[in-house]
């Protein structure tokens, strides 16, 4: 739950965003980095276009935080908060992971997303 956001934030907001912002301007850098962040999750979402669009918006928000503060730490903390909220919702939504048989493995997948 800590490693995936760290890697994703380092790659997207630490490396990709600064290059795009310098080359095309901050607004375009924020937008394109956010969209790329969403698209990197396309395979695991397998055609769930609504969730993919949501992740693009989330990526734009994370990148905006990076642009506004000038540090990847801001987007990393947002990413951790977002993933933690999803995990907590998933846990309670499945009655403590008891409501369906593959809950444990699904939960493991969510933790690594």
The secondary structure of 49-99 as a DSSP string is: HHHHHHHHHHHHHHHHHHHHHS-HHHHHHHHHHHHHHHHHHHHHHTTTTTS
Question: Is pLDDT above 80 for 2?
Answer: no
Between the ranges 1-10, 27-36, 87-96, 101-110, where is the mean pLDDT highest? 27-36
The pLDDT score that the predictor gives to residue 100 is 59
Predicted TM-score (pTM) of this structure: 0.81
Question: What confidence tens digit (pLDDT) does each residue in 65-110 have?
Answer: 999 999 999 999 999 999 888 888 777 777 666 665 555 666 666 6
| Residue-averaged pLDDT of the chain | 86
């Amino acid at each position: 739950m800590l490693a995936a956001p760290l890697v994703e934030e380092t790659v997207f907001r630490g490396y990709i965003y600064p290059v795009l912002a310098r080359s095309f301007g901050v607004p375009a850098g924020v937008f394109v980095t956010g969209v790329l962040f969403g698209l990197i999750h396309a395979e695991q979402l397998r055609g769930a276009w609504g969730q993919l669009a949501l992740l693009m918006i989330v990526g734009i928000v994370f990148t905006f935080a990076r642009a506004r503060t000038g540090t990847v730490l801001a987007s990393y903390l947002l990413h951790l908060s977002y993933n933690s909220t999803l995990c907590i919702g998933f846990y309670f939504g499945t009655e403590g992971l008891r409501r369906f048989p593959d809950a444990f493995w699904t939960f493991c997948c969510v933790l690594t997303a």
